[in-house]
Amino acid sequence: MTSLAEAPESGRDDGSPLARNLRLFAGNRLASLSAAVVLAVVLMAVFSPLLAPHDPYETDLFRRLQPPAWMQGGEWAYLLGCDALGRDILSRIVYGARVSVFIGFTVIALATTVGILAGLAAGYLRGWVDVVISRLVDVLLGFPYLIFAIALMAMMGPGLQNIVLALAYKEWVIPCRVVRGETLAAREVEYVEAARALGAGRIRIMLSEILPNILSPVIVVATIRMANVIILEASLSFLGLGVQPPTASWGSMVADGRAFMLEAWWVSTFPGLAILVLVLAINVASQGLRDAFDPKFHD
């Protein structure tokens, strides 16, 4: 999105821009609520063993495709019904949060770190460093995301670690582009000139002068992309390239349930809802972040 490449001018010198913007964010009720939802999901992931009513891996062929509690044939002990092997769907959703949260955070953390370093280097050092990195970014962007991920998974084999790698391999180009753009703009500003005049080394300038001032858009982009990454993991699991059984990921639960759509719609629907809620919360919160960090939207 093109509008992020503008450097905020005013307010740079009255305290940390980060703290100021965070305060603005807290004032937005909807965004704060969504952030709370995300936090709740993270807590659910951390405390799964305490929250899940049943063992998510325990199969019981006699409970195969049991309907949710409020339908005929359901039991209240198994609130959202059971899947094709008689496992409790609610418990699997609780445990499934671990996968989504883990992948969302790890991929973004990895990609953002690599992206920041690459973007800083490309934007500040320019020259052949910039050429190489920019061309690499171009080539990687030319691949449709899903095909690249599928091909990588086919190469590396399934499993959680490989999903993280497969997604991170393409994801880093996005923070890299943002950081590069911001760095290009920032390097001409006075305080950078001043630092250079004072004899500070290039790496020092990159890390201590430029980086803190471009963090805002990077954080915003990172949160937006997190939502995307979670959906991508779900898509990969949907295509059969996701986590290994018996681990439950929300995406693989939707995929497994899709054959039973006609007889047992609940197997796919509830995990899909979970994805929706988490991703929506992330998106609303990140929208709030953007509104808070971008001075143009202050009323």
Least gap, CB of 115 to another protein (angstroms): 19
Least gap, CB of 19 to another protein (angstroms): 25
Least gap, CB of 154 to another protein (angstroms): 5
Is position 7 an interface residue for another protein (rule: CB under 8 A)?
no
Is position 32 an interface residue for another protein (rule: CB under 8 A)?
no
Alpha-carbon gap, residue 249 to 265, rounded angstroms: 18
Is position 256 an interface residue for another protein (rule: CB under 8 A)?
yes
> What tokens appear for 113 in the block?
């770190």
Q: Which of 41, 176, 231, 292 binds another protein (CB under 8 A)?
A: 231
- N-term to C-term CA, the chain: 22
Q: Which of 138, 193, 203, 212 binds another protein (CB under 8 A)?
A: 138
Is position 263 an interface residue for another protein (rule: CB under 8 A)?
yes
CA angle 44, 46, 51 (to 5 degrees): 45
> What tokens appear for 196 in the block?
């250079």
**Would you tell me which residues interact with another protein (CB under 8 A)?**
1-3, 59, 61-62, 64-65, 84-85, 135-136, 138-139, 141-147, 150-152, 154-155, 157-158, 227, 231, 234-235, 238-240, 244-246, 251, 254-256, 258-265, 268-269, 272, 275-276, 279-280, 282-284, 287, 296-297
